[in-house]
A and B are shown apart, each in its own frame.
Chain A
Amino acid sequence: MEPIRTHKGIVYPLNRANIDTDQIIPKQFLKRISRQGFGQFLFYNWRFHNDGEPRKEFSLNDQKYKNASILVAGENFGCGSSREHAPWALQDFGFKVIIAPSFADIFYNNCTKNGILPVRLTEEQTEKLINNAESSTYSITVDLENKVVYDSEDFKATFDLPDYQREMLLNGWDEIAVTLTHDDKITQFEEQRILK
């Protein structure tokens, strides 16, 4: 996967809590067998009418957010289904960082396996970002090495994520290759269990 160190981008604010992965990518688009091309289906039922016409009232269809690469949303983002098609769709659409007060566990993991950086900020901080991005085109910088988010004015917030996931994201490592360096230990574990 692509490493991610520092990313500067336009914020797309989606001020809703409990956005589930069924909304991020509805089930009718889960039938493909490749990892590519899911961006067109992102938030499909919110973005489009049944006939495929864009819903003008849905903010992601606003030209202002056309080049957004940082999604800021309400708490418990990515709840529900484990479908990795959700981060694939977000990434293919152009999102590199997702900021929310909290994430669902499986979704959070799925992001880090794909080089998407999930950032937990406080509710107050995310609200600030949402307000700024709703009123104008708003860019922020997310620095994973120093675990800090800032804008060109007075916003600055630190965040935390587990060291392991941070390393993975910073280096873009192939996790399976890392695990296979412990292959002998896995074999040993299996042998001991069989003997037991």
Chain B
Amino acid sequence: MGKPKTIIEKIWDQHVVHQEDGKPDLLYIDLHLVHEVTSPQAFEGLRLKDRQVRRPDRTYATMDHNVPTIHRNVIKDEVSKTQMETLKKNCEEFNIPLADIDHPDQGIVHVIGPELGLTQPGKTIVCGDSHTSTHGAFGALAFGIGTSEVEHVLATQSLWQARPKTLNVKVNGKLGTGVTAKDLILAIIAKYGVRFGTGYVIEYTGEAIHSLSMEGRMTVCNMSIEAGARAGLISPDDTTVEFLRGKRHAPQGADFEKAAAEWKALATDEGATYDATVEINADEIEPQVSWGTNPGMVIPVSAQVPSPDDAETANEKDAINRALEYMGLEANQPISSVHIDHVFIGSCTNSRLSDLRKAADILQGNKVAPNVKAIVVPGSHSVKVAAEQEGLDVIFKQAGFEWRDAGCSMCLAMNDDVVPEGERCASTSNRNFEGRQGTGARTHLVSPEMAAAAAIEGHFVDVRKYSVPTA
């Protein structure tokens, strides 16, 4: 028996094509996901050099960033339209499977990968999108890349990558009722900052992590990049295996059982060591709300917005001042006193069926506050159909939400779903950067449950007051 290894080292070692002193490893890529925004220049690069796509069968494309979520086939923005048509032409030319805007499998790339069973434990997965870390929930090594790297993977199905350092984020205990995976990852980033993961691949471990559903795990891994880590993953267990059973692109029958055994064997060995470890206690975490302009500027819902006087350095003081000004908040103001204008439930962080169910549970029999405009954007067409079969759309609509078609939507507002300047949005997405949801828009990151409760009350509120004991 060799030295105990982490899952990160195991997957890495299984994918090294070529190793040479003084160079990064040449790593084989099992799955390359493609969308319309970060791929056109890569395909153009191939054409200029007369290169081919090495493995179209390991490549899968969809349209998500630009797509309208209302009046689906009327794309008013000509530039967006061209970008989407370009993806279609490129996929045709290079023979790449594409879930087009009208396709039943269309959706946010990080929602459909797992849904279709393309995402599997032990795979190396890349996409020209920083939230590719989402797929790490399955015990895959998944990370975002730039367009030059997209071109490189298209041409060679490989990437030069330096072996990453490993970071164990250990979550002790259990999350309380009404406290979600979103609150957990926000609390982790609030505690350790937006760059503690830089240079590392994170493995999330501990009781609270393995108690999460696959959807919850995806929410956690999704935001690894917000902590600076290109990838974050979770060792596969029975929850992982059962999620993948029967998925279209997963192995079937006896092959599935064989694969499942291999997947579980990838889990980090007893006694394996990491380059660094941080810990957090799940039972101390409250529902969270971001107050500032990066995903580390987060506080519990019971807390007050920080003051520049709390800063330890001049730069930090400056950052707090700038964030307060941009966000239109006062120092020491209770976050629960902050009134909102918009609610967005969606994005690759929180747009899956279970997210919609939990938000609908809170909204059932309630109404969205006057002056609040609320939309729900399912992560994929399949999520939308499944939600409609359960009648979730009716609950949302009766509460006063708009029920939209699938896409990235208001998470980054590349389509028409934009938060106007100076207005405030409770959003289940992943980034509260300046201008993210629209120029001058003010974003507060929350869980779907917290977003639903804020929609009802018109301001932030501890969702636990709505929690009904599960029958």
Interface residues of A (CB under 8 A from B): 15-18, 20, 22-23, 26-28, 30-35, 45, 50, 74-76, 79-84, 87, 102, 104-106, 109-110, 113-114, 162-164, 174-176, 179-180, 182-183, 185-186, 189-190, 193
Contact = CB atoms under 8 A, between A and B. Distances in A.
B148 A110 contact: yes
A76 B195 contact: yes
A68 to B, nearest CB: 21
B146 A105 contact: no
Contact of A50 (B18, B160, B412, B421): B421
B195 A113 contact: no
Contacts of B41: 33-35, 84
Contacts of A179: 26, 152, 155-156, 158, 160
Nearest to B26: A182
B133 to A, nearest CB: 11
A185 B26 CA distance: 10
B412 A20 contact: no
B44 interface: yes
Q: By CB atoms of chain A within 10 A, which of B80, B421, B433, B436 has the most?
A: B433
B83 A79 contact: no
A79 B228 contact: yes
Contact of A31 (B28, B79, B319): B79
B219 interface: no
Interface in B165-215: 194-195, 198-199
B156 A105 contact: no
A98 to B, nearest CB: 15
A21 to B, nearest CB: 9
Given A179-B26, A179-B152, A82 B40 contact: no
B22 A31 contact: no
Interface of B: 17-18, 22-24, 26, 28, 37-38, 40-41, 44, 49, 51, 54, 65-66, 77, 79-80, 82-83, 86, 128-130, 144-149, 151-152, 155-158, 160, 162, 194-195, 198-199, 225-226, 228, 230, 294, 315, 318-319, 322, 412-414, 421, 431, 433-436, 439-440
27 contacts: A16-B318, A17-B319, A18-B319, A22-B435, A22-B436, A23-B434, A23-B435, A26-B439, A27-B414, A27-B436, A45-B434, A79-B294, A81-B130, A82-B144, A83-B38, A83-B146, A84-B38, A87-B146, A104-B195, A104-B198, A106-B144, A175-B148, A179-B26, A179-B152, A180-B155, A186-B26, A190-B28
A20 B77 CA distance: 26
A34 B322 CA distance: 34
Given A28-B414, A179-B160, A105 B199 contact: yes
B378 to A, nearest CB: 21
Contacts of B54: 186
A45 B148 contact: no
A176 B151 contact: yes
B17 A18 contact: no
The 8 A-B pairs of least Cβ separation, nearest first, read A113-B148, A33-B40, A110-B146, A84-B146, A82-B144, A84-B147, A31-B79, A82-B130
A44 to B, nearest CB: 9
Nearest to B322: A16
A194 B206 CA distance: 34
Contacts of B413: 27
Contacts of B431: 20, 22, 80-81
Contacts of B318: 16
Nearest to B200: A105
Contacts of A30: 37, 65, 414
A106 B315 CA distance: 24
Contact of B24 (A15, A16, A45, A164): A164
Contact of A33 (B22, B26, B86, B128): B86
A106 B127 CA distance: 12
Contacts of B51: 176
Contacts of A34: 40-41, 44
A43 to B, nearest CB: 11
A24 B421 CA distance: 19
A82 B146 contact: yes
Nearest to A29: B79
Contact of A186 (B158, B294, B436): B158
Given A34-B44, A81-B412, A87-B146, 15 more contacts: A20-B433, A23-B435, A31-B79, A32-B83, A35-B41, A45-B440, A79-B194, A80-B130, A82-B128, A82-B130, A82-B144, A179-B155, A182-B18, A190-B28, A193-B28
